[in-house]
Amino acid sequence: MEVFWDAALAFVCVLGLAFGAWWLFGLLLRPLPGCGAAILIPGRGEGERLEQLVRAVIWLRGMGLVKSPVLIADVSLSPAGRELALRLAARWPGVVVWPAGELEDCLGQL
């Protein structure tokens, strides 16, 4: 009978440790509420990787891991790159295109 109680106690301890590890890991992945952070993506050239980066952030937002707005900084976008950035901003809420020299004004509005 003593072996049964030892096994039951060991099982409960393993469950408690697993729950504690799961809870702490969840704290690491969970976004901070109301932290006022923004994700800044520099836009250059034709915007080659721009759509991929914005889609990745939107995917994270859809999973609930990111709540921050996305700022596309127009560093040196060509007209075609600027058009792509504006289309991305029109497609998803929370995505903003802003000139790189005026980022301080945009961040002040957040």
- pLDDT of 107: 66
Residue 43 contacts residue 50 (beta carbons within 8 Å): yes
Residue 96 contacts residue 110 (beta carbons within 8 Å): no
Residue 96 contacts residue 41 (beta carbons within 8 Å): no
- pLDDT of 100: 75
Residues in the chain where the model's pLDDT stays below 50: none
- pLDDT of 48: 86
Torsion angle defined by CA atoms of residues 66, 70, 76 and 80, in that order, rounded to the nearest 10 degrees: 110
- pLDDT of 18: 95
Instruction: Report yes or no on whether pTM surpasses 0.75.
Output: no
- pLDDT of 68: 83
